[in-house]
Amino acid sequence: MSYCPKNNLLNLLRRGSKFFRKASNSAAPTAAPTSTPGQASSFAAGISSTSAINDLHILKTRLCIIGSGPAAHTAAIYASRAELKPILFEGWMANGIAPGGQLTTTTDVENFPGFPDGINGIELMDRCRKQSLRFGTQILTETVNKVDFSTTPFKVFTDSKAVIADSIIVATGAVAKRLDFPGSGEGPGGFWNRGISACAVCDGAAPIFRNKPLAVIGGGDSAMEEATFLTKYGSIVYIIHRRDTFRASKIMQQRALTNPKIQVLWNSAVVGAYGDENTNNRVLGGLKVKNVLSGEVSDLKVSGLFFAIGHEPATKFLDGQLELDSGGYVVTRPGTTLTSVHGVFAAGDVQDKKYRQAVTAAGTAQLFFILFGIICFVWVAWQPWKPNITCKRLDHRRVKLIDEYPSGCSIMVGSSG
Ligand SMILES: Cc1cc2nc3c(=O)[nH]c(=O)nc-3n(C[C@H](O)[C@H](O)[C@H](O)COP(=O)(O)OP(=O)(O)OC[C@H]3O[C@@H](n4cnc5c(N)ncnc54)[C@H](O)[C@@H]3O)c2cc1C
C-alpha cells in the first residue's frame, strides 16, 4: 500500500466532514471516552432500548478484546503499540479459569521461546498482562456475558459495563475437559499437575514421565495423537477407554493400535488416583481402573495420566452471533482471523482445535495485524503540517484505505464493508 501526499489533503477534508457528520449524529460523546452510570442514559438509546442499559457504565473504543490468554494479550500488545487504545476484558473466573487463561492452570511452560529454563504459567501470563498495560491497554477484570454484533459499532456487555467498539477480537480460549474422581484434583490428596495433566504435548516431556508407564483417557483423535506422542517418553502408554471401540478416525486408530508401546484397556474407567509412596505421595503413583462390564477394579501403576477427552471453546456468550462449527469453535476463514461478521475477529484456541498451544494462540492474534484488520500508525512524524491525523483504517478484504481518523477522537464508524 502506498500514500499519495497530494490526495491526503483532499481525503482529509472529505473524511473530516464525514467525521463531523458522524460525530454529531453519534449518541456517544466523542471527547470523553467514558461516562458515568448517571450520564449513560443520554446515549443509552443508541445502544439498546432496555432500561437496564441505563445502569451500565459505557465506554467507547476502536478495539475491544475479549479474553486474557496469550492470544488476547498478543492482540493487546500489537493494538496498544499501534495506539488503538484497546479495552481488554480479562474475565473473572470465566469458565472457571483465572484471568490469564489456561496457562494459569499449569506449572512449568518449557516450550515458549525466550525462557530457556522454563517459566511458571502464571508468571508468564502476568508478564504478558504487564506488557499489555505498558503500552496503554485498559484491562477490565470482568466477564463478558452478552454481545451485539448485529450492527456497527458493536456492543459488548458485562454486568456493569457496556463497551461500544469499532472492532472486536474474540480470544476467549477453550477449557480442556477433565474428569472428576478421587485424586484427580488440585490441593491435598490430588495429583493435578503432579502427574495428571490435560495436555500431553505440553507436559509429556517432563522428567517425571521419562521412561515411566503412562496413561491416556479418551477414544477420539486427540487421545490417539497424545498416546502416540507420549510413546517418545514413556516406557509404555495405556489408552483407557470406556467403550469397546474408538471414535477416532481409522488412520489415527491404526497408528496407535500398531504402536508396540501402546496398550488399550477397553471398557474401562478410572475411578481413583493414588500417590507414589517412594516420593511420600508427592507425585502420582497409580490408578484404580474399573472394568465397566464386570465391575472389577484393578490397580494400574503409572506415573502420568493425561485427559484427552476434548475441549470446550468459550463461545456460549456469543449466543449464535458468530458462525460456529459443530464443536462450538468460532469459524474463521482459513489462514486468517476473519469471522462471519465483518469487523469481528477471533484468535487463539477459541478458533483452533488442532494446534492449541500458547505460541500458536499468540501467532493467530498477531495475524490480525499483519495480514488484515485495522492498521493504525503515526505518520505525524513525516506529515508535521497535519498533526491531527494519526490513523488510517484499511478494508481488510481488499486492503485499501477507507478511512482516516483525527487524532484523539473516539469516533464511531460503520463496518468497512
Ligand atoms: C494444563 C495445561 C497445560 C498447558 N501447557 C502448555 C504449555 O506448556 N505450552 C503451550 O504452548 N501451551 C500449553 N497449554 C495450552 C495453552 O494454554 C493454550 O493453547 C493457550 O493458553 C490458548 O490461549 P488463548 O489465548 O487462546 O486462550 P486461553 O488461555 O484459553 O485464555 C482465554 C481466557 O479468556 C477468558 N474468558 C473466557 N470467556 C470470557 C468472557 N466471556 N469474558 C472475558 N474473558 C473470558 C478466560 O478466563 C481465559 O482466561 C496448556 C494447556 C493446559 C490446559
Atom of ligand 1 nearest to the CA of 101: 49
For the Cβ of 361 lying below 6 angstroms from any atom of ligand 1, the answer is yes
Residue 380 φ then ψ, to 5°: -55, -35
Together in a domain, 78 and 89: yes
**Predicted local distance difference test score (pLDDT) of residue 159:** 95
- The pLDDT of 152-162, averaged and rounded, is 96
Q: What is the pLDDT of residues 269-311, one digit of tens each?
A: 999 999 999 999 999 999 999 999 999 999 999 999 999 999 9
Together in a domain, 170 and 62: yes
Residue whose CA is at the smallest distance from ligand 1 atom 44 = 91
Together in a domain, 35 and 153: yes
**Predicted local distance difference test score (pLDDT) of residue 96:** 85
Together in a domain, 220 and 131: no
pLDDT band at 108 (very low <50, low <70, confident <90, very high): confident
**Predicted local distance difference test score (pLDDT) of residue 53:** 60
Catalytic residue check, 117 = no
In a domain, 119, yes or no: yes
For the Cβ of 97 lying below 6 angstroms from any atom of ligand 1, the answer is yes
**Predicted local distance difference test score (pLDDT) of residue 365:** 83
Indicate the top mutation candidate among 66, 73, 103 to test ligand 1's pocket, ranked by most ligand atoms within 8 A of CB: 103
In a domain, 160, yes or no: yes
In a domain, 113, yes or no: yes
For the Cβ of 72 lying below 6 angstroms from any atom of ligand 1, the answer is yes
- The pLDDT of 123-137, averaged and rounded, is 97
Together in a domain, 142 and 194: no
Residue 313 scores a pLDDT above 60: yes
Residue whose CA is at the smallest distance from ligand 1 atom 9 = 202
Indicate the top mutation candidate among 102, 161, 196 to test ligand 1's pocket, ranked by most ligand atoms within 8 A of CB: 102
- Where would I find the beta strands (DSSP E) of 133-254? 138-140, 146-148, 154-157, 161-170, 174-176, 196-197, 213-217, 236-240
Domain-ending residue, one of 250, 277, 309: 309
Together in a domain, 370 and 300: no
Å from CA of 177 to ligand 1 middle: 13
CA distance 276 to 280: 6
Instruction: Quote the domain boundaries for residue 354.
Output: 5-174+312-406
Which distant-in-sequence residues (6+ apart) come within 8 Å of 89 by Cβ?
64, 65, 66, 67, 68, 140, 142, 143, 144, 156, 158, 163
Marked catalytic residue, from 126, 148, 199, 409: 199
Contact 41, 48 (CB under 8 A): no
CA distance 122 to 140: 18
Domain-ending residue, one of 257, 288, 309: 309
C-beta atoms surrounding 269 within 10 Å: 17
Q: What is the pLDDT of residues 374-398, one digit of tens each?
A: 444 333 333 343 333 334 444 444 3
Q: What is the pLDDT of residues 184-219, one digit of tens each?
A: 999 889 999 999 999 998 899 999 999 999 999 999
Domain-ending residue, one of 248, 274, 309: 309
For the Cβ of 307 lying below 6 angstroms from any atom of ligand 1, the answer is no
**Predicted local distance difference test score (pLDDT) of residue 55:** 78
Together in a domain, 76 and 9: yes
Overall number of domains in the chain: 2
For the Cβ of 93 lying below 6 angstroms from any atom of ligand 1, the answer is no
Between residues 146 and 36, which one has the greater pLDDT?
Answer: 146
Q: Does residue 170 sit in helix, strand or coil?
A: strand
Together in a domain, 16 and 155: yes
Q: Does residue 406 sit in helix, strand or coil?
A: strand
CA distance 131 to 111: 20
Together in a domain, 282 and 203: yes
In a domain, 15, yes or no: yes
**Predicted local distance difference test score (pLDDT) of residue 22:** 32
Residue whose CA is at the smallest distance from ligand 1 atom 19 = 357
Angle at Cα 64 formed by Cα 60 and Cα 66, nearest 5°? 140
Marked catalytic residue, from 166, 203, 221, 276: 203
In a domain, 414, yes or no: no
Mean pLDDT computed over every residue of the chain: 80
Q: What is the pLDDT of residues 50-77, one digit of tens each?
A: 445 667 899 999 999 999 999 999 999 9
Together in a domain, 215 and 284: yes
In a domain, 417, yes or no: no
Å from CA of 71 to ligand 1 middle: 8
Atom of ligand 1 nearest to the CA of 99: 49
Residue 316 scores a pLDDT above 70: yes
Å from CA of 126 to ligand 1 middle: 13
Marked catalytic residue, from 128, 202, 376, 391: 202
Residue 100 scores a pLDDT above 90: yes
Together in a domain, 193 and 303: yes
Catalytic residue check, 391 = no
Together in a domain, 155 and 251: no
Indicate the top mutation candidate among 105, 199, 345, 367 to test ligand 1's pocket, ranked by most ligand atoms within 8 A of CB: 199
Q: Does residue 9 sit in helix, strand or coil?
A: helix
Residue that is written with C-alpha cell 492470544 in the block? 71
In a domain, 413, yes or no: no
For the Cβ of 204 lying below 6 angstroms from any atom of ligand 1, the answer is no
Contact 267, 274 (CB under 8 A): no
In a domain, 34, yes or no: yes
Between residues 74 and 6, which one has the greater pLDDT?
Answer: 74
**Predicted local distance difference test score (pLDDT) of residue 366:** 77
Q: 3-state SS of 64-126?
A: EEECCCHHHHHHHHHHHHCCCCCEEECCCCHHHCCCCCHHHHCCEECCCCCCCCCEEHHHHHH
Catalytic residue check, 203 = yes
CATH number for 402: 3.50.50.60
Which distant-in-sequence residues (6+ apart) come within 8 Å of 251 by Cβ?
none
Q: What is the pLDDT of residues 327-341, one digit of tens each?
A: 999 999 998 899 999
Contact 341, 149 (CB under 8 A): yes
- The pLDDT of 140-164, averaged and rounded, is 97
Residue 306 φ then ψ, to 5°: -120, 125
